[in-house]
Amino acid sequence: MIACQDAAHPVIETRGLSKRYRGVTALSEATITVPEGRISALVGPNGAGKTTLLRLLGGLANPSGGDVTVLGGTPRQDPAFLASIGFLPQGIPLYRRFTATDHIGAGAHLNPRWDAASVRQRLKSLDIPLGQAAGTLSGGQRAQLALALTLAKRPRLLLLDEPVAALDPLARRHFLATLAEAVAADGLTVVLSSHLVADLERICDHLILLAASRVQLCGDIDTLLAEHQVLVGPRKDTTAIEKAHTLVQAVRTARQTTLLIRLGGPAIDPAFETADVGFEELVLGYMGQAATPATSHLTTVGEGQ
Amino acid sequence: MTWHTWRQHRNQAYFGAAALVAFTVLLLITGLQMASQYHSVLAACSAATSNCGSLADLTLGSPPVIFLVILTLVVPALLGVFWGAPLVARELETGTSQFAWMQSVTRRHWLAVKTGWILLAAAAWAGAVSALVTWWSSPENALKHQNFRPGQFDVQGIVPVGYALFAVALGIMAGTLVRRTLPALAITLGAFAALRVLIAYFVRPHYLAPITTITSLTSHAGPAGSYWSLALGNVDPNGQMLASNGLSNYLGYGHESITIPSVCREVFGGQQPGRAAEKLASCLSAHGYRGFITYQPASRYWPFQGIETGIFVILAAALIAVTAIVLKRRDA
């Protein structure tokens, strides 16, 4: 497990953060830091604790253990704190019978800072009708409306829980473009959970990887990529490599061994070719490592031959 | 939040207002008819100066309207089920609570404003219906003096407002606890009905100690005005009270039927008991029997209305307080 505690101006800082629901552990000992101005990708398999972490950060759930600091304070029921957080929950809940205009009106009455003009402008540029009930909009339109409403609060931290899960590729691209634009304009910090690693790679510069309710990896994406390497070589004993570095994942076939390692030093076995690791490879490597024994055999194909 | 609450519930408000207008028109028309009928018979009676049989036999109102007025008994339950139970439960069910709770308002503020308006609306609605029913029933009340009895007591005066506040608060709490509309609705209905019956039949008679009067069996004079009879029966020559109706059971009287001394049993002969009632009464009277009645006098009607309303309002406040604590502490 790699914790990141390296930021000078953390917007999010947790230490040993845990959450149990009726005896089931949803999040265990999570220690993370997200510096200001980052777009953090929150990835992990289903049930890894992504939603739980976001809910703890937004104050929608109370921790069972550990500490959480968001924007300098504990997430709490307080208008000033709530005003500084933009939270887009999974499933994008909107009032089915409210039109976009109704939602804008509601937001205006419920928030101290409210940029109604920005929502109207965003929706207009996306051709989303203002007078149509939200229940009758398409999934992409609903997601865009929800994002626009979340941004209209002018939050300092944006927490997005799988906002693009239900969208087609084009709608997804539009959504992420809107998000990237807003972030560039306002300099806000974002934590975005998604299964779509390729999408995340395009817009994120920070990574939190959860698996089996634990943080497996956390930090600046470029730094993480530089710290890891893929070794490809003949089928041979790799004990020496495993001792010098941290083995994340090994794929062994009859003729070839592919290792994903976290570098512990410069010494690399000359029998192995080294290659830089890609974002997706890194993510899948760690997710595979944390997988249960029932599925981990998939990463060691042919080992017994 | 007020804007938000209005936007969310304005259709319910329109529907409620329309139903209230329809009910008002119906009761105004039939109520005015009944009042003029009552007053003309009353005027004819005092002109005749004789024994006014026509007044006692007068039946007021048509059966469908009377039935509708009796049906207003369920108004608080309906408000609890349709306004109270979905208030929080539907938002939790559809996830819209997460939209509302991530705006810059605390959950407590959110609940306070929504609950405040819905309780106010329910009190106004139930109060309006009750005021209409009370006015509509006034000739009947003057004629039959039955408005202290369970059934009529429950739809007139101020108690319906207390019931409505309680039912809506119960719905809100049930919805918050079970998080789903349909079960919340069932719980609201069941719990409300159970508590209403419990209080009306087992608690209400004891708000103030009932009065027991010993009467002569041969005179028909009862207590004055709209009293509420709890028990009546005979007192035997030894002073033993023999009650003849069900409520006496828990009021502490024996519940055997009237034991008739053998001398008077002959009075029945082969005749119908109804015909023999007069003879039986004078026979029992002659053997030292007297009658008694245990009742709440008419003067206690408004104190009882106040006590019962107070009980339900306090319960409603307690339920809302519990709801607020649960919403604040529980994960959203």
Query: pLDDT by residue (tens digit) across A38-61?
Result: 999 999 988 889 999 999 999 999
**B315-329 residue pLDDT tens:** 999 999 999 999 988
Beta-carbon count within 10 A of B234 CB: 20
Structure tokens at A55: 């809910």
Question: Is residue B224 helix, strand or coil?
Answer: coil
Residues recorded for chain B:
332
The pLDDT of residue B277: 67
> Do A89 and B105 make contact, defined as CB atoms within 8 angstroms?
no
Chain A hits for B97, Cβ within 8 Å: 93
User: Which of A79, A95, A153 is closest, CB to CB, to B96?
Assistant: A95
What lies within 8 Å, CB to CB, of A99 at 6+ separation is A130, A131, A132, A133, A134
**A48-105 residue pLDDT tens:** 899 999 999 999 999 999 999 999 899 988 899 999 999 999 888 899 999 999 999 9
Confidence of residue A8 (pLDDT cuts 50, 70, 90): low
Question: Which of A3, A11, A6 minimizes the C-alpha distance to A81?
Answer: A11
What lies within 8 Å, CB to CB, of B287 at 6+ separation is B237, B261, B263, B264
Write the CA distances from B156 to A45, A192, A228, A253, B297, integer angstroms: 62, 58, 80, 86, 17
Mean pLDDT of B169-192: 96
The pLDDT of residue B271: 53
**B22 min Cα distance to partner chain A (Å):** 27
User: Are A208 and A23 spatial neighbours (Cβ–Cβ below 8 Å)?
Assistant: no
As a whole number of angstroms, the distance between CA B14 and CA B19 comes to 9
Chain A hits for B95, Cβ within 8 Å: 89, 91, 93
Chain B hits for A91, Cβ within 8 Å: 95
The pLDDT of residue A252: 84
Confidence of residue A14 (pLDDT cuts 50, 70, 90): very high
| Position B77 pLDDT exceeds 90 | yes
What lies within 8 Å, CB to CB, of A21 at 6+ separation is none
| Position A23 pLDDT exceeds 60 | yes
**A206 min Cα distance to partner chain B (Å):** 24
| Position B220 pLDDT exceeds 80 | no
The pLDDT of residue B321: 96
Question: Is residue B84 helix, strand or coil?
Answer: helix
One-letter amino acid of A299: T
| Position B75 pLDDT exceeds 50 | yes
Pick the range with the lowest mean pLDDT from A75-79, A170-174, A239-243, B129-133.
A239-243
The pLDDT of residue B33: 86
Confidence of residue A173 (pLDDT cuts 50, 70, 90): confident
- Contacts of B39-43 with CB under 8 Å at 24 or more apart are B39/B139
B57 touches chain A (CB under 8 A): no
| Position B244 pLDDT exceeds 70 | no
> Do A93 and B96 make contact, defined as CB atoms within 8 angstroms?
yes
More confidently predicted of A240 and B24:
B24
| Position A254 pLDDT exceeds 70 | yes
Q: In what order do the strands lie in the sheet with A273-276?
A: A246-252, A256-262, A228-234, A273-276
| Position A304 pLDDT exceeds 50 | no
B10 touches chain A (CB under 8 A): no
Chain B hits for A62, Cβ within 8 Å: 329, 331
A224 touches chain B (CB under 8 A): no
Question: Is residue B152 helix, strand or coil?
Answer: coil
As a whole number of angstroms, the distance between CA A281 and CA A69 comes to 31
Mean pLDDT of B258-274: 60
φ and ψ at A251, to 5 degrees? Answer: -120, 115
Question: Which of B143, B174, B140 minimizes the C-alpha distance to B155?
Answer: B140
More confidently predicted of B26 and A165:
B26
A58 touches chain B (CB under 8 A): yes
Angle at B170 between CA B120 and CA B323, to 5 degrees: 90
Mean pLDDT of A203-213: 91
Percent of all residues in chain A with a pLDDT value above 70, rounded to a whole number: 91
| Position A9 pLDDT exceeds 80 | no
As a whole number of angstroms, the distance between CA A24 and CA A16 comes to 17
For helices B85-94 and B107-136, what crossing angle results, to 10°? 150
Mean pLDDT of B83-102: 92
Structure tokens at B258: 């009237």
> Do B102 and A60 make contact, defined as CB atoms within 8 angstroms?
yes
Whether ipTM > 0.85 holds is no
Mean pLDDT of A145-165: 91
User: Are A233 and A256 spatial neighbours (Cβ–Cβ below 8 Å)?
Assistant: yes
Confidence of residue B300 (pLDDT cuts 50, 70, 90): very high
User: Which of B8, B94, B108 is closest, CB to CB, to A93?
Assistant: B94
The pLDDT of residue B259: 59
Mean pLDDT of A178-193: 87
Spell out a b/e string for A79-89, using b for 16 or more CB atoms within 10 Å of the CB, else e: eebbbbbbbbb
A222 touches chain B (CB under 8 A): no
Largest CA distance in chain A: 68
B14 touches chain A (CB under 8 A): no
The pLDDT of residue B252: 43
Interface of B with A in 109-128 (CB under 8 A): 109
φ and ψ at A208, to 5 degrees? Answer: -125, 115
For residue B106, give the chain A residue with the closest CA.
A77
Confidence of residue B261 (pLDDT cuts 50, 70, 90): low
Pick the range with the lowest mean pLDDT from A61-65, B217-221, B250-254.
B250-254
> Do A60 and B101 make contact, defined as CB atoms within 8 angstroms?
yes
Cα A145 to chain centroid distance, Å, stands at: 21
Mean pLDDT of B94-98: 90
Chain B hits for A87, Cβ within 8 Å: 98, 102
Chain A hits for B8, Cβ within 8 Å: 95
The pLDDT of residue B125: 96
**B125-159 residue pLDDT tens:** 999 999 999 999 888 888 888 889 888 999 999 99
User: Which of B104, B106, B328 is closest, CB to CB, to A112?
Assistant: B104
Write the CA distances from A71 to A9, A80, A151, integer angstroms: 10, 11, 17
| Position A297 pLDDT exceeds 60 | no
A110 touches chain B (CB under 8 A): yes
A112 touches chain B (CB under 8 A): yes
The pLDDT of residue B52: 66
As a whole number of angstroms, the distance between CA A58 and CA A75 comes to 6
A85 touches chain B (CB under 8 A): yes
| Position A7 pLDDT exceeds 70 | no
| Position B174 pLDDT exceeds 90 | yes
Mean pLDDT of B11-24: 92
> Do B98 and A112 make contact, defined as CB atoms within 8 angstroms?
no
Pick the range with the lowest mean pLDDT from A109-123, B42-56, B73-87, B194-208.
B42-56
Chain A hits for B1, Cβ within 8 Å: 109-110
Mean pLDDT of A172-182: 86
For residue A77, give the chain B residue with the closest CA.
B106
User: Are B153 and B304 spatial neighbours (Cβ–Cβ below 8 Å)?
Assistant: yes
φ and ψ at A88, to 5 degrees? Answer: -115, 100
For residue A146, give the chain B residue with the closest CA.
B99
The pLDDT of residue B254: 41
Secondary structure of chain A in the HEC alphabet? CCCCCCCCCEEEEEEEEEEEECCEEEEEEEEEEEECCCEEEEECCCCCCHHHHHHHHHCCCCCCEEEEEECCECCCCCHHHHHHEEEECCCCCCCCCCEHHHHHHHHHHHCCCCCHHHHHHHHHHCCCCCCCEHHHCCHHHHHHHHHHHHHHCCCCEEEEECCCCCCCHHHHHHHHHHHHHHHHHHCCEEEEECCCHHHHHHHCCEEEEEECCEEEEEEEHHHHHHHEEEEEEECCCCHHHHHHCEEEEEEECCCEEEEEEECCCCCCCCCCEEEECCHHHHHHHHHHHCCCHHHHHHHHCCCCC
User: Are A156 and A189 spatial neighbours (Cβ–Cβ below 8 Å)?
Assistant: yes
One-letter amino acid of A291: A
Residue with tokens 């001792």: A243
As a whole number of angstroms, the distance between CA B24 and CA B68 comes to 12
Highest mean pLDDT among B62-76, B129-143, B151-165, B230-244: B151-165
> Do A82 and B331 make contact, defined as CB atoms within 8 angstroms?
no
| Position B269 pLDDT exceeds 70 | no
> Do A87 and B3 make contact, defined as CB atoms within 8 angstroms?
no
B328 touches chain A (CB under 8 A): yes
**B38 min Cα distance to partner chain A (Å):** 51
CB pairs under 8 A between A and B: 74
